[in-house]
Structure formats: structure tokens, C-alpha cells
Amino acid sequence: MIQMKLSSLLMTILSAIFLVAGVILIVLVNFSMRQQALEEAQSKARIILDRNLATHTYFTHQLKPSVFELAGEPKSEVPFDPVWMSSTYAVREIDDYFQELSESGYYYKECAINARSPANEADAFEKKFIRELNKDPDLIEKTAIRTMNEHSYFQVLRKSETMEQTCLTCHSKPEMAPEGLVQKYGARRSFGREEGEVISAISIRIPLEQAYSQANAFSMQLSAMLLVLLGILYAILILIHKRLVHSPLAALQRQAQGITEDPGMLGTKVNPPAIREFSNLAEQFNTMSSRLKKSMDHLEDQVQVRTGELQRTNEQLEREVEQKTEAEAALIQERNRLQEVLDEVKTLRGLIPICAHCKKVRNDQGIWNQIESYMREHTEARFTHGLCPECEALLYPDQDED
């Protein structure tokens, strides 16, 4: 198992905490700035939209009525001129002048499917929105972040013109439209419309690249500042740790090491540090050292007492072993003596068939032998012959008379 110093472990943990907190802070700041860039883009899109809608209102309610009044002719006989008759044309031209004067990169278009002017033709994304408008009457606006040519844009699409009955003169059939309109735009574009149809949408794109770049640049600056701050805090923490943690622990370590290497130092005390936790630890260490000293002082007496008890026990065991050895030796001698007796004595057991007259004994094969032969075969006894007094008197009566 790999062991680390407490100081290294604490510094590693604190560094990891600071780094994680710094990364989280940087990510949150970057996200917040990007959100702020989107909010600013929405605000700019609203300003552009309101500004161009004001231009449409001006054309509809002031410019066109005043020009028709000055012309002094019926509206149907006034020659078509988009410069003052079409607010959409005017807005587009004004936007072209704005793009020449500004480098903002803003995009504004009143787009339509089969637009009268090719400049107002909707792209695929805008066409999809216009189709959705005709399917969903409640849909008014849609926002999205689009990446085009490796650049990010905030796009706003808003519902614009809905075909009215009065507009069908110029958008239903070419033969009903003013002659000048057909001559300028042709007889195919923006005809065949129906009343109630949503024919256009306002499309605005605000570039986000600069805002995102500023957010990233600020995040990098914040990262550098946090690294510097982390270095300063790391140095301060090292100093604080060395003074409040490392030094008291080092003192306790030296004391414990001294006792380990020199038992004579057992019982010495450590000065309690100022920190309460380390002070309690030092007091416990001093208490342990004193108790160990007392135990060591009485240990020799205890060893002597135990040694005497062990000696007495050993002597007693030796006497018991000696007595046991003597008893075993006596038993062995007695066993040997009995074995000798057994070796000398051989006892016949069981029934012995013997003749009642001649006293011969029958063996296991049915042969009758003299009792002396039988005894020699089955025992270790040997016979010597003699005469008992009765037999001697019977066989040699003359000797008794003499």
C-alpha cells in the first residue's frame, strides 16, 4: 500500500478542490456570457424588426396616401413604381445601404416562397417555417442557433404578411395585376396566392461569433487569474499547514522515535501545542508514556517473581519425573521377574484322558503314552523315579522286615 505524507495528501486534496471549483466557475461564466450574448442578439433582432415594421407602417399610412393624393389620378391608373409603392422594396433597399455602411453582419430579409423579387426568396430553413405557419395558425415566431459556413448565428423567424382580399389584385392572376408590375417582375413570380395564406416571414440573423469569442477570451483571462490565485493560496496554505499541523506532528514523531530508539527516554513529556486537538493528543501521549514507564519499572520485579515460580515448578516437575522414572523402573523389574517365572512355569489346562488302571495318557492322535512322556511333551518338567513307602513295602516286603 502506497503511503503519503499528511501534508502532501492535504495539498493534493485542496489543489483538486480548487481546480474543480475553478473549472466549474469558468464553465459557468462562459455559459453565462453565451446566454447573455443570446439575450443581446434577441434584443438586437427585436430592434431591427421594430425598425423595419415602422418603415412599413410609414409607407402604408403616410407615404403612399400622400403620393396618390399628389398624383390626382385614380389608383388603378397610377403607373407602378416599387420605389414608393412597395414598402418591402424600400426596406430591402434601405438594408442594402445599411450593409454598405456597417460591418455588423446583421441579416434581414422579408422572405417568401416564390417571392416576387428573387432577392426575397426564402432559403430551405425559411421555407420550412413558412409551411409550418400555414399548418399551425397559432405559430408566430421561432428562434434557433444556426451554424453557417463555420460561423454561428442567432436566427429569428417571425410571421409576416397574410394574403388579404385587397392584395389579390397583384397576387392572384397576372392579367389582373398592374401592367408595370408584370413588366418588372414577370408573370410567374408571386401569383396564384389565396386569401388567408401566409405568404412571407421576417428572417433576422445576428452573428454570435464575436460574442462567443469575447466569452472565450474572458474565460481564458479568468483561467489565468484563477491559476495565479490558486498559486498564492497554495503557498499560504503550505505556510499555515507547516506552522499549525506539520510542526506539532513532527514534535510528537521525534518524541516517539526517541523512545523507540532509547527506552531510557520513556516517561519524558511533550510540550502541548497551542492547537486544542494536538494539545489533547500530546496529553494522551504523555499519559501513555508515564504509564509505560511505571510498567517498565515494575516489570523486572514481576519477571523475578515469575522466574522463581517457574524454578519451583520445574523442580517439582523434575521430582515427579524422577519418582515416575523410579516407579517405571520397578515395574519393569517386576515384569521381567514375572516373565522369568512364567518362562519357568508351564501349566496344563483342560481335561486329560488317563487310564484308570495303568495311568497312561491319550494324546490328540488317540495314542496312549506313559504319563512321563505326556508331561515332557506338554511341560518343561523332568521326572526322577523313586518309590513311595507304600509301593516300596508292597514290592519289597523283605526290606521292611530287616
CB 201 within 8 A of CB 126: yes
For the chain, the average pLDDT equals 79
The pLDDT, as a whole number, for residue 358 is 83
Q: Average pLDDT in the 261-282 region?
A: 71
pLDDT digits (tens, 9 = 90+) for 51-84: 888 888 888 788 878 887 776 655 555 566 777 7
Assign 199 a pLDDT band (cuts: 50, 70, 90): confident
204: pLDDT confidence band, cut at 50, 70 and 90?
very high
What is the arithmetic mean of pLDDT over 77-104? 78
What is the tens place of the pLDDT at every residue in 17-41?
Answer: 878 887 888 888 888 888 888 888 8
Give tens-digit pLDDT for 355-382. 878 878 888 788 888 877 777 777 766 7
Residue 194's φ and ψ, nearest 5 degrees, are -125, 150
pLDDT at 343 over 70: no
pLDDT in tens, 246-267: 777 777 777 777 777 776 776 7
Amino acid in position 14? L
Residue 327 is predicted with a pLDDT of 81
**Percent of the chain residues topping a pLDDT of 90:** 8
Instruction: Give the cell for residue 397.
Output: 516286603
In this predicted structure, the answer to whether residue 133 has a pLDDT above a threshold of 70 is: yes
Q: What's the whole-number mean pLDDT along residues 185-190?
A: 82
Please name which of 207, 160, 216, 217 lies closest in space to residue 40, comparing C-alpha atoms.
207
Q: Do 29 and 218 meet the contact criterion of CB atoms below 8 Å apart?
A: yes
Specify the pLDDT at position 3: 45
- Within 267-377, strands assigned E span 361-362, 368-369
Distances (CA, A) of 131 to 75, 140, 366: 33, 12, 140
The answer to whether 111 and 91 are in contact (CB under 8 A) is no
Higher pLDDT, 199 or 83: 199
pTM, two decimals, is: 0.51
Query: Which residues, in sequence order, are CB contacts of 105 under 8 Å at separation 6+?
Result: 207
Residue for cell digits 523512545?
259
- pLDDT score at 181: 77
pLDDT tens digits for 143-162? Answer: 998 888 888 889 999 998 88
Q: What is the distance between the alpha carbons of residues 300 and 305, in angstroms, rounded to a whole number?
A: 9
Q: In the structure, how many helices (H) and strands (E) does the chain have?
A: 13, 6
Give the pairing type, strands 107-112 and 200-207: antiparallel
For residue 329, pLDDT beyond 60? yes
